[in-house]
Amino acid sequence: MIRALVIDDEPIARERVLTMLDAHDDFAVIGECGDGIEARDTIATLRPDVIFLDIEMPRLNGISLLEGLPSRERPIVLLITAHTHHAVEAFDLAAADYLVKPFTQQRFDRAVQRARRAVEARNGRQADERLAFKKSRGAVILVRTATIRFIAAEGNYARVYTTEQAILVRETIQSLEEQLDPATFIRVHRAAIVNMNYVIELHRDAEGRTAVMVEPSQLVAVGPKFRARVERALAPELTRLER
């Protein structure tokens, strides 16, 4: 499922995008924003795959919003505007497409297809990415990031749990978080990072404690200050909620 965020200061314009997006079952709308400041905070929290972004907005316009995002954290962008003079800026920011209001469903569908291809290309690159880790005895091991299920801190070391093995590496969990894609790997606890693609359940107990179940059956605690972030990130894909 492709996670989408709609950003426009006009409620009617947001509703039009939402209505047109209904034709695309592989897109899940995870939120709406009415200005650039709200959008900046929401992108940092929810990590959408694609944003439908109006350029002319109060407080922080769409161009300034994108320029302020680190390239590694920037979603695929479909720019929306009532004017044509932003085309060069759209090109410079590598937007997937540039929609000029008013646009038809057919034109919107073409833009969505371009965004879909961009997401698929990005996911393909990420699947091939590898990180080099120093093991506890000084050896270096290369690990495909797509195979990492979760990471747990062990003092100044960290244990990386992949689909095949658990590796003790000579890095802190903070340094590993900085190297990993924040759209996929989320800090769920001061001592844990989880690849959200492997999360299959969200658990809450009677005392309000939260944990996530990571494939195949590893329960990872969620710290109180990370709880809201995790629940929002999981909302579109969660298949089962446990008490």
118-174, pLDDT tens digit by residue?
888 777 766 667 888 877 677 888 898 889 999 999 988 999 999 999 999 988 888
Percent of the chain with pLDDT over 70: 88
Same domain, 200 and 104: no
Look at residues 127, 154, 177 and tell me which one is the last residue of a structural domain. Answer: 127
Whole-number Å distance between alpha carbons of 164 and 145: 12
Q: Are residues 100 and 211 in the same domain?
A: no
Q: Render pLDDT for 9-62 as a digit per residue (tens, 0 to 9).
A: 999 999 999 999 999 999 999 999 999 999 998 998 888 999 999 988 888 888
Please state, in angstroms and rounded to a whole number, the distance separating the CA atoms of residues 58 and 34: 9
**pLDDT confidence of residue 238:** 52
For residue 210, what are its two tokens?
Answer: 């939260």
> Does the residue 242 lie in any domain?
no
pLDDT band at 6 (very low <50, low <70, confident <90, very high): very high
Same domain? 10 vs 112: yes
Residue showing tokens 């161009």: 63
Q: What is the CATH number of the domain that holds 98?
A: 3.40.50.2300
| CATH number of the domain to which 149 belongs | 2.40.50.1020
Checking if the pLDDT of 88 tops 70, the result is no
Q: Per-residue pLDDT averaged across 107-120, rounded? A: 91
Q: How far is CA 5 from CA 72, 100, 103, 190, in A?
A: 17, 18, 19, 27
Domain shared by 196 and 80, yes or no: no
Domain that holds residue 179: 130-234
Q: Is residue 243 situated within a structural domain?
A: no
- Name the more confident of 125 and 238: 125
Helix, coil or strand: residue 42 = helix
Nearest one of 124, 129, 123 to 75, comparing CA atoms: 123
pLDDT reading at 242 higher than 50:
no
The rounded distance, in Å, linking the Cα atoms of 219 and 194 is: 11
**pLDDT for position 237:** 54
For 206-227, the pLDDT digits (tens) are 887 899 999 988 999 999 988 8
Q: What is the pLDDT of residues 171-204, one digit of tens each?
A: 888 888 878 877 788 899 999 999 988 998 888 8
The token duo for 61 is 């316009």
How far is the C-alpha of 216 from the C-alpha of 200, rounded, in Å?
A: 8
pLDDT confidence bin for 77, thresholds 50/70/90: very high
Domain identity same for 136 and 185: yes
130 Cβ contact list (under 8 Å, min separation 6): 142, 143, 144, 145
